[in-house]
Structure 1
Amino acid sequence: MAESIGKQLPELLLRKLKKEQYVLFATVDQETGAPQVNAVSWVYAADEKTIRIAVGHRSRMIGNVKAQPHVTITMIGPETTHAITGRARVTHEPLEGVTIKLACIEVEVETVRDVMFYGAKIAQEPIYEKTYDKEAADKLDRQVMAALQEA
């Protein structure tokens, strides 16, 4: 059963979302009205009420947010799973200071819930690795995170 934590990011989530973090970003599909979920890692919490996400400039997420601003960001760990709901808007097309074409989606946090099922906890947070040129990936990650901070 979901337990409401509040209307803003608690300190622990705020700290974790100040750096690159694996999350699931759910939007409402602009054509079908069905939920659409994407894994993203270029996420930055500007403050306890504002989360910015960088996505490819041709991403379906952009049109979805423009058509229907209600979104959910799901964060797995630490120890539990959080659902962060809010209203999103596209703030930068393109996102300045990045060598590839990206857009910035900004989410105004409305509710944070603990949605972990009863009697369990997350033993290990998701781990991922970039599968392309490590040096190029690190450079791009630094550019994107800096651009999200400035957006």
Structure 2
Amino acid sequence: MANQVEQILTDELFQLLQKERFVTIATVDHETGAPNISAISWVYAPKKEAVRFAVDNRSRIIENIKANPHAVLNIIGNESTYSISGTAQVKVEKLEEVPLKLALVEITISEVRDVMFYGSKISVEPEYEKTYDKEAADKLDLQVMTAMKKA
């Protein structure tokens, strides 16, 4: 996909975004106007034209999106790095059936770009592990992903 611009997720990216994974999100800081980047993991693509994510409803990400809806998700997968740009909006202020106060945000995609530098590929995708109780983490992840899919 190098040097190509798409208006929706490719089949490969859509598949990558069917489960929790490490991504970063860039928003415009509501106080400074400067870029703000955060790492998130509860992401899900309900369709090729949109990506949803869940974050604490008191997060700076939420304040930033309410002030300026432009957002960019960065995802590493399929041996490359992708930039998914669009307009974000808080779809649900508090997800039901989830014990945490999480907001659901949906980004309507305007552009998908392969932004990997020329002549290279990702050989190992980022991995992470939860540092708290594994059973509790698995239960919470399932609750959040189910709620995002139902919303």
For normalisation by structure 1, the TM-score amounts to: 0.97
Residue 66 (structure 1) aligns with? 66
C-alpha contact (below 8 Å) 2:16/2:77 kept by paired residues: no
How far apart are the structure 2 equivalents of 1:31 and 1:5? 31
Structure 1 residues 120-131: aligned runs within 5 Å: 120-131=120-131
How far apart are the structure 2 equivalents of 1:144 and 1:36? 24
Q: Secondary structure at the match of 2:72?
A: strand
Q: Secondary structure at the match of 2:4?
A: strand
Give the CA deviation at 1:4: 2.8
Residue 18 (structure 1) aligns with? 18
Structure 1 residues 2-151: aligned runs within 5 Å: 3-151=3-151
Aligned residues: percent identity?
A: 54
Give the CA deviation at 1:135: 0.2
User: Structure 2: where are the runs of 5+ without partners?
Assistant: none
AA at the equivalent of 2:43? V
How far apart are the structure 2 equivalents of 1:38 and 1:144? 19
C-alpha contact (below 8 Å) 2:74/2:81 kept by paired residues: yes
Give the CA deviation at 1:5: 3.4
Q: How many equivalent residue pairs? A: 150
C-alpha contact (below 8 Å) 1:28/1:70 kept by paired residues: yes
- 1:93-132 C-alpha deviation (Å, 9 max, x unpaired): 1111101110011000110000000111000100000000
How far apart are the structure 1 equivalents of 2:121 and 2:53? 26
Question: Runs ≥4 in structure 1, deviation > 6 angstroms?
Answer: none
